[in-house]
Structure 1
Amino acid sequence: MPITALDQNELRASLLSRLSGLRAPAGVHGTVSHGTDSGVRVFGYCVQERERIARSRMEHPAVVVVLSGTKEIWHGDVAQAFPAGVPFVIPAGMNFDMVNIPDPASGRYESICITVDDVLRQALRSNLRHLPVTGRIPDRLDVELSPALVEAYGHAASALSGIGVVAVAETLARYRVLEVLLLVAVTPVAGVLMAVGRREQVEAIIYADPSHPWQVGEVAAELGIGASTLRRQLAGAGASFREVLLSVRMRAAGALLGSSGYSVMQAAQAAGYASRSHFSRRVQAVHGKTPRQLKAAV
């Protein structure tokens, strides 16, 4: 049965209750860590005055829940507002203006943020083989709550509050946070969790189908931007579209040749090469071995 608006309100209230143990103590302002850089990257943030953060750019995607007040995220002239108890995703590699608005009753704005860093993204890829890889930003960044997601947040909050108490707490917290992200990863915002900068977004799109004769305009359309804009952004990252395309195809070639299920010609075709000789020269230049040598190493 579909979840109604009333159900969502009840789930929001339940989520806020389950996360209450992660609220910052009275009088504490700014960022509060609930994890470690080597383990889970979960942070709280609390202010008592309305603040605007212009042109904020995230290095990694983040999953956020406002605990008190409201957050507005502006991308150009378009704004989305997220009240307390609504999980949402902030994409990486894009400039946003953010406004944190304290709750009128408590006078506090407070949120909890899960940073989806390289370790967590790899864990997501390992657990969900069919996770969407497009870097297209969805129209809405909020995540519809479900009883399972509320329960997962509750488990994560309990584990995070136990870090430093028992030796296994950090490992448990990492798994509990991953449980939250796995549930978020099956919602429409899934692709945002996996794509970081423009280069990684482009790589993800190409890697999903390396045999396709990709043109810069096609990839730009997937990202919702123009071809010239994409070229400029890739140049700012020190790469051209052709360089990224070749790099991804060679990564795919290495993986295919490392599988006993592909012949050299099948690997060449799957990586987007019609000419076996051209494929062989490129593989040797990149991997330092011929395709047959790579196959022999399997």
Structure 2
Amino acid sequence: MNMHHRTNNDPDLRTTLLERLRPMLAPMGTAGWYQHGNRLFSYCSIDRERLKAIELPNPLIGILLRGQKEVWLGDTVHVFEPGTVFVLPGRVRMDVVNIPAEHTPYESLVLEVPSLPPGISPLIGQQSGIGTHGFTIPLDTDLVDALVHAATSIASDAAGDVLKALRLAEVLTLMQPLAAARPLFETSLAEEVAWTIRAAPSEAWTVERLARQLGLGASTLRRRLASEDQSFRKILRVERLKAGRSAIASGASSVAAAEAAGYHSRSHFARRYRENYGTSPKGRRIG
């Protein structure tokens, strides 16, 4: 038996979103990919098409502009109407059907999210997976505003990379609590470990303590990190040295930087710092 999930967003908000994104629509009667900026595209199809067993390399945020879209996972189909905002996961096999309307083509606006911008944390210590929540992002006025600002900024040649990253971060901040947005925030175990240490680099981290925080056994943590060609010791050193370098850049003394990085010995910190960055840590002089 096929299961159908149809979007149930506020139609007024979907209409508002479509009206504000109207300048990004492709000309009628054309088809293909249209690049609007780094990783931002619109895709237009005049004919109905079914893409079988596709597997996206990265998760993406999509907005259906015209026509209808179906996403099939096994026997379950998710149906999207114009104005729907959706998130599709990376590395998950699915069938996608793009369906033009009677007098208009199919068109969607798509933004790939291969990595999270600064300040946006991944899911930490949570089991990944799509689950049963589907792909549809519920809309509110704040998210509609953020999506329009992000699309406009990313598509603009005049907007700098800092502004574009900021606009994307605003969208992701609003989406982060939403179950359907989880694929955007899933990451490798190595990055989970790095983020956990990054939040408190001076703590007395051990592989056992960190594994408990992530809900894993120590041997499981070591094995999974090894499968990613990483190790707890290597990640710990990198994150602590980053913390020390940031402290020095902020004007701290080399002693204070060593403490911020979790090093009890300033000479040990200086030696590791030189090995990693090729220079000695020259912090603010004391006295």
Change (3 A) 1:108 1:172: same
Residue 234 of structure 2 is aligned with which of 243, 264, 270? Answer: 243
User: Larger helix proportion, structure 1 or 2?
Assistant: 1
Partner of residue 41, structure 1: 39
Partner of residue 112, structure 2: 115
Structure 2 residue 45 is the aligned partner of structure 1 residue 57: no
- After superposition, give the CA deviation of every residue in 1:16-36 in whole Å (9 maximum; x if it has no partner): 23333333344434422123x
Partner of residue 274, structure 1: 264
- After superposition, give the CA deviation of every residue in 1:223-258 in whole Å (9 maximum; x if it has no partner): xxx5366324422xxx43322221122111111122
Structure 1 contact 268–279 (Cα < 8 Å) conserved: yes
Change (3 A) 1:217 1:154: closer
Partner of residue 275, structure 2: 285
Structure 1 contact 149–180 (Cα < 8 Å) conserved: no
Residue 10 of structure 1 is aligned with which of 12, 17, 28? Answer: 12
Structure 2 residue 246 is the aligned partner of structure 1 residue 255: yes
- After superposition, give the CA deviation of every residue in 1:200-229 in whole Å (9 maximum; x if it has no partner): 45433332222341526357649xxx5366
Structure 1 gap segments, 5+ residues each: 164-168
Q: SS of the residue aligned with 1:65?
A: strand
Question: For structure 1, which segment, 42-51 or 192-201, has the greater mean C-alpha deviation from structure 2 after superposition?
Answer: 192-201
Partner of residue 171, structure 1: 158
Structure 1 contact 280–290 (Cα < 8 Å) conserved: yes
Measured in 1, the distance between the counterparts of 2:272 and 2:75 equals: 45
5 Å matches for 1:1-298?
8-35=10-37, 40-47=38-45, 48-58=48-58, 62-67=60-65, 68-72=67-71, 81=78, 83-84=80-81, 85-90=83-88, 94-103=90-99, 105-106=101-102, 109-116=106-113, 121=117, 125=118, 129=119, 131-134=120-123, 142-154=136-148, 170-172=157-159, 175=163, 178-179=166-167, 181-188=169-176, 199-212=190-203, 213=205, 215=207, 217-218=211-212, 221=215, 227=221, 230-235=224-229, 239-260=230-251, 262-291=252-281, 293-295=282-284
Q: SS of the residue aligned with 1:88?
A: strand
Change (3 A) 1:90 1:241: farther
Structure 2 gap segments, 5+ residues each: 1-6
Measured in 2, the distance between the counterparts of 1:117 and 1:95 equals: 12
Question: For structure 1, which segment, 41-50 or 145-154, has the greater mean C-alpha deviation from structure 2 after superposition?
Answer: 145-154
TM norm structure 1? 0.66
Measured in 2, the distance between the counterparts of 1:193 and 1:7 equals: 20
Task: Give the deviation of 1:180 after TM superposition.
Answer: 5.7
Which protein is bigger by CA-based radius of gyration? 2
Change (3 A) 1:53 1:218: farther
> Could you tell me the percent identity over the aligned residues?
27
Task: Give the deviation of 1:55 after TM superposition.
Answer: 3.0
Measured in 1, the distance between the counterparts of 2:78 and 2:223 equals: 28
Measured in 2, the distance between the counterparts of 1:80 and 1:111 equals: 18
Measured in 1, the distance between the counterparts of 2:41 and 2:109 equals: 6
Measured in 2, the distance between the counterparts of 1:256 and 1:8 equals: 47
Measured in 1, the distance between the counterparts of 2:57 and 2:253 equals: 44
Measured in 1, the distance between the counterparts of 2:253 and 2:123 equals: 29
Change (3 A) 1:55 1:180: closer
Q: SS of the residue aligned with 1:66?
A: strand
Q: SS of the residue aligned with 1:50?
A: strand
Question: Partner letter of residue 92 of structure 2?
Answer: F
Change (3 A) 1:88 1:258: same
Structure 2 contact 13–141 (Cα < 8 Å) conserved: yes
Question: Partner letter of residue 132 of structure 1?
Answer: S
Task: Give the deviation of 1:104 after TM superposition.
Answer: 7.3
Q: SS of the residue aligned with 2:228?
A: helix
Question: Partner letter of residue 272 of structure 1?
Answer: G
Question: Partner letter of residue 174 of structure 2?
Answer: V
Structure 1 contact 156–173 (Cα < 8 Å) conserved: no
Task: Give the deviation of 1:89 after TM superposition.
Answer: 3.7
Structure 2 contact 146–170 (Cα < 8 Å) conserved: no
User: Number of aligned pairs?
Assistant: 259
